Amino acid sequence: MYGRWEDILLKVPLFHGFSMENLNTLLTCLRPRIKQYKKGQYVAIEGEKQEGIGIVITGNVTVSKENITGKRVIMDVLKPGDMFGEMAVFSDNGLWPASVFAHEDCTIMFLAAHAIVDNCSRICNNHRMLMLNMLKILTQKALILNRKVEYLSIKSMRGKISTYLLEQYKKKGSPMFTLPMNRDQLADFLNVSRPSMSREMCRMRDEGIIDFHRDSVRINDLDALVKAVESNI
């Protein structure tokens, strides 16, 4: 039943270590809900009742929150195989902590919290592996939140941009890469205005630190980016 999404599902951290055969058995027991969304639709709305852990099967979604002034701040852009809602699914209030927006037509799999933690004697070994993976994911998320606190402490525009570009460089393992966000999304993510961000990126290009065209970026002076980060934290 779920074999048509095999390539995506086997990459989901929650299903790490599963064969497709075991995963099919597990999902038959968990009975996830599969929902389709059109581009522009809300998958989840901050403050509403949480439906469970979401897994992006096809398409891309944007995770965002509103700050105290009502400004939308992009937290992340998720692609097939990524998860959302895992940090709050076991909380007492059971509400979505952020809004999730369909950036394009997408397919989402929802797993109810009780399905993950309830005992299941029929597929005990698979279920234990699922819960172990869940614990690993929550631990990793806690570490990422610590990184977010560090990120917010960066004072200058150049420091924020440099930090983001360095993180992408480390993820891609190459000085040339494609940004996963467009300019508006990146400005929201950095919590800065787009015109100010664009001006600073142009200055960095004029100084020979980076080069860019649309969503493609090439780092020309890695040391300059590192210096910008170190001098603004």
Identify the structural domains of the chain with CATH numbers, from first to last: 3-144 (2.60.120.10), 152-230 (1.10.10.10)
Token match 């929550």: residue? Answer: 138
Query: Residue 1, SS3?
Result: coil
DSSP structural state of residue 50? P
**Mean pLDDT confidence for 9-21:** 92
Report the C-alpha gap between 94 and 137 in whole angstroms: 19
Q: What is the pLDDT of residue 144?
A: 67
Report the C-alpha gap between 166 and 184 in whole angstroms: 19
**Mean pLDDT confidence for 226-233:** 82
pLDDT band at 57 (very low <50, low <70, confident <90, very high): very high
Report the C-alpha gap between 51 and 86 in whole angstroms: 11
Report the C-alpha gap between 22 and 142 in whole angstroms: 29
Answer yes or no: is pLDDT of 207 > 90.
Answer: yes
**Mean pLDDT confidence for 135-145:** 82
**Mean pLDDT confidence for 52-75:** 86
Answer yes or no: is pLDDT of 194 > 60.
Answer: yes
pLDDT band at 192 (very low <50, low <70, confident <90, very high): confident
- Closest alpha carbon to 98 in 83, 80, 84, 109: 84
Answer yes or no: is pLDDT of 123 > 70.
Answer: no
The CA–CA distances, whole Å, from 55 to 12, 51, 60, 76 equal 8, 12, 11, 14
Q: What is the pLDDT of residue 65?
A: 85
Answer yes or no: is pLDDT of 187 > 70.
Answer: yes
- Closest alpha carbon to 59 in 112, 108, 5: 108
> In this prediction, what percent of the chain has a pLDDT beyond 90?
49
> In this prediction, what percent of the chain has a pLDDT beyond 70?
93
From the CB of residue 111, how many other CB atoms can be counted at a distance below 10 Å?
24
Provide the H-helix boundaries in 69-220: 113-117, 124-152, 157-172, 183-190, 194-206
pLDDT tens digits, 104-114: 999 999 998 88
**Mean pLDDT confidence for 8-14:** 93
Q: What is the pTM of this model?
A: 0.65
